[in-house]
């Protein structure tokens, strides 16, 4: 007797697609705020699923993308953690112009154009495009502020990432660090770059490398608050987003990850 013919396919209940970038979970709370998206450069859009920062002003503030915020000024790198607001929510918008050359199976990501009202998820869970990382539930989520294409190809500023590579987050001994001075001498300049966030004893929060990246004499954006001759400094191409974690360890075939923003960071 011939084997029976199967007309279906078994689907792993944890193996389905999570959805599109910027899709808000229907499970749990959702806090979404609408403000105008005002980038420094008109060449930037706020893509659905992008991390967003809040720029405060006297009329309620406005959104900007992390990518545009970093491109505008290196000094903004040190402000991302404090001004991180959430994730741009996916919306249905009228398609006034249809993109040419659409390829079946290739993800088309919508966006908020400059000077339009945009919605950002400030607290809750949603799907984002994970560029790098193999998360587990509760993993810290980062955004990229400095590229590292020779070691971590295919990344761009403003990516969502987890599990930093050894060349993206590493420690180096500072052999000279003087209170009141931004000049620091380190034991090795390997993998260091301008723009990297630096932390350590006596290094103010948000400090980054202004110049000297790649060498042993670097200049920080802020003065050291403590003198040391053997202080271990941590250099990072990524910024840890406050109170943002992977909701599960599952990443679907389209590299979508569900994240959770546990509290409102900027409101």
Q: Is the pTM of this model over 0.85?
A: yes
- Residue 9's alpha-carbon distances to 12, 124, 185, in angstroms, are 10, 33, 60
Structural domain includes residue 139:
no
Residue 104 has pLDDT above 90, yes or no: no
Does 47 share its domain with 111? yes
Structural domain includes residue 163:
no
Cβ-in-10-Å burial (0-12, 13-18, 19+) of 31 comes to middle
Structural domain includes residue 251:
yes
pLDDT at 255 (0 to 100): 93
Residue 64 CB partners (closer than 8 Å, separation 6+): 37, 38, 39, 40, 46, 52, 53, 55
Report how many domains make up the chain. Answer: 2
Residue 10 has pLDDT above 60, yes or no: no
Domain range enclosing 216:
169-236
Mean predicted confidence (pLDDT) in 50-79: 95
Residue 266 has pLDDT above 80, yes or no: no
Does 118 share its domain with 55? yes
- Tell how strand 183-186 and strand 140-144 pair up: unpaired
């Amino acid at each position: 007797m011939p084997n029976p013919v199967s007309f279906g396919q078994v689907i792993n209940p944890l193996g389905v697609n999570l959805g599109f970038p910027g899709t808000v979970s229907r499970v749990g709370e959702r806090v979404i705020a609408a403000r105008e998206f005002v980038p420094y450069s008109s060449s930037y859009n706020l893509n659905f699923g992008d991390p967003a920062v809040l720029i405060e002003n006297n009329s309620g503030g406005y959104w900007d993308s992390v990518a545009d915020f970093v491109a505008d000024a290196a000094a903004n790198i040190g402000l991302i953690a404090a001004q991180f607001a959430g994730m741009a929510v996916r919306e249905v918008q009228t398609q006034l112009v249809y993109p040419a050359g659409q390829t079946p199976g290739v993800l088309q990501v919508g966006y908020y154009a400059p000077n339009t009202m945009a919605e950002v998820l400030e607290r809750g869970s949603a799907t984002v495009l994970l560029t790098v990382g193999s998360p587990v539930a509760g993993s810290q989520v980062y955004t990229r502020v400095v590229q590292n294409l020779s070691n971590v190809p295919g990344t761009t500023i403003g990516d969502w990432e987890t599990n930093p590579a050894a060349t993206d987050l590493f420690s180096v001994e500072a052999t000279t660090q003087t209170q009141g001075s931004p000049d620091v001498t380190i034991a090795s300049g390997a993998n260091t770059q301008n723009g990297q966030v630096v932390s350590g004893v006596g290094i103010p929060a948000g400090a980054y490398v202004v110049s000297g990246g790649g060498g042993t004499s670097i200049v920080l954006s802020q003065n050291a608050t403590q003198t040391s001759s053997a202080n271990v400094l941590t250099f990072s191409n990524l910024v840890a987003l406050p109170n943002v974690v992977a909701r599960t360890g599952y990443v679907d075939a389209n590299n979508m990850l569900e994240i959770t923003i546990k509290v409102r960071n900027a409101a």
